[in-house]
Amino acid sequence: MSAVIPSHPDTDWMAKGNVVGMDPPMHGRLRSLVSKAFTPRLVAGLEPRITELASGLLDAVADRDRFDLVEAVTHPLPVFVIAELLGVPLEDQPLFEKWGLDFILANGGGESALPSEENIAGFVRTAVEMRTYMLDQIALRRTAPRDDLITQLVLARTDEGQLDDDEIVGFVGTLLLAGHITTTAVLGSTVLCLDENPEAFAQVRRDRSLVPAAVEESVRLRPAFSRLVRMTTRESELGGVTIPAGQVLTLWTVAANRDPERFTSPDAFDLRRDQGRHLGFGQGVHFCMGAPLARLEGRIVLNLLLDRFSELSVATEDDAVAYHHPKNVVGPRRLLVDVARA
């Protein structure tokens, strides 16, 4: 997509590690190297720490019968987890929270499917700040390796070489964008879907083995990104329409996930459906590397909510729920919940 995205010398590093927006063979090289570091085993090993972090966030609202779930838990948790994964100091985690929000604004947002020159220009200060910070962290790992993802990215090797510093910084930026607001959206959407489907919610309470299915079905119904933007590399025909080479296309994931030719009763929240066929985490070579982490966080948070609260419902006031712009992110940016303790 680089041909149609405005460039700037202080933000060009973002494309070097953006595995999401890269074609083969460059994509294969980068993904292979990153996969050496960002392993399923590494993600699975985070479960105790994620549980500890989420429990601490819920402890902070332990005396309330109503609170904003986004503000209290689903917004801070993913950025804390990413910061922990990378190995950045605790006192620097607010920086990552700010950068994650800035990434969303720089990525277009609202009606726009692509970032504008204004979006890019507004992100320059953040880009310089983040790159400077991350280059310092990378230099520290080269002299004193640690047990964290930055070190693993520095050490990753294949027959095709290793990652350069800007590729590492670019991947961290992608991780922030793809792993922060998306997981926040998935966590909030799961609670909304269960609140809208009380019979399914009761089933999940009775049978915790359904928790992963509840998270997955929420991702199908409300994928964090409603659309993806791609460019044709050659002339193609689809549905009797000829699409020229170099054409920018908006692809609606949220519509694909409700395709009646693909899913029976596609608008229904069904815990028992075949859940391996939706596009909420992408498909093929671009299937989301962070899917195991998002699923793990969803499972942990939902189980903790069920453990702590015998009753959990979305508040009924008109302003109880506020959403992101649905053409940018599908999910709540405010979600007031009423709770009763178990």
pLDDT digits (tens, 9 = 90+) for 89-121: 878 888 888 887 787 777 655 666 677 778 777
Beta-bridge partner residues of 251: 228
Euclidean distance between CA atoms 311 and 54, whole angstroms = 19
Q: How many CB atoms lie within 10 A of CB 92?
A: 12
Residue whose pair of structure tokens reads 């391996």 in the numeric block: 276
How many CB atoms neighbour CB 236 within 10 A?
13
Cβ pair 149, 87 in contact under 8 A: yes
Is pTM beyond 0.85? Reply is yes
Instruction: Say if residues 20 and 178 touch (Cβ distance below 8 Å).
Output: yes
Distances in Å between the Cα of 240 and the Cα atoms of 25, 232, 234, 236 are 30, 16, 16, 10
Give per-residue pLDDT as tens, 25-69: 888 888 888 888 888 888 889 999 999 999 999 999 999 999 999
Token digits of residue 270: 């069904």
- Domains in the chain and their CATH numbers? 13-224+273-341 (1.10.630.10)
Question: Which has the minimum average pLDDT: 139-148, 159-168, 207-216?
Answer: 159-168
Which residues 6+ apart lie within 8 Å of 39 measured at CB? none
